[in-house]
Structure 1
C-alpha cells in the first residue's frame, strides 16, 4: 500500500470522531492484502494499543474485527496484542467475546475474559 494512503488511514484510526474510526477499522478487510509486513505489524500494534481506550462499543468491535481480518490473512505476525488485556472487563460485551477468546492465547489466557 502506498505510504500516502497508509498514513491517511492511520490518521483516520486516531480520529476523535467515532464514525470515522469505525469506518476506518471496517475498511481493513478491503486492503489487507496490499499491506507489506511492516505496515501490517504497525497497524496491528496500533489497533491493539487503541482498543483499551475505545469508548464506543461499535468502534471497539470494528477494531477487534480489523485485527481478526489481519490475522485471517496471516498479516498479524509480530504484532504485540498484549494491550488487549487492558480492555476493561466491563467493556467486553457479547459481540466482543469471540474475538477476545480467539486472541487469548496471544495476550495471556483468561485476561479480559472473566465471566
Structure 2
C-alpha cells in the first residue's frame, strides 16, 4: 500500500507491507511525487520487503533527490547491504527528522535563486 502526504516542504510517499508485485504502480507513485516539484521523502518504516524492481525504483528516485525514512526492516537493510547501497542513500530515523533536514520554505514572493 502506498499513501501520499503533501507537506509545505516535501512530498512524502508512505509505503506499507511488501513492494514485491507493485513495481508498475510504484513507478506511477514516484512519478506523481516527482512531478510535485517538492523534495520527495520515501517512508519505508512499515515496509517489510522490497524486491529488486523496487530497489531499482529507489535508485531512480535517489537520482532525483529522494531521501528515505526508516527505520528500515532487516530484509531491506540486508538488500541494501548486499547491493553495496547502504551508504548511498540518506536514511532519516523519522519523518520529523527528515522534514527538519530540509531547507526552510521560501517566504511568499521571494524569488528562487
Q: Shorter chain as normaliser: what TM range?
A: 0.3 to 0.5
The structure that is helix-richer by fraction is 1
The structure that is strand-richer by fraction is 2
Q: Which has the larger radius of gyration?
A: 2
Normalised TM-score (structure 1):
0.40
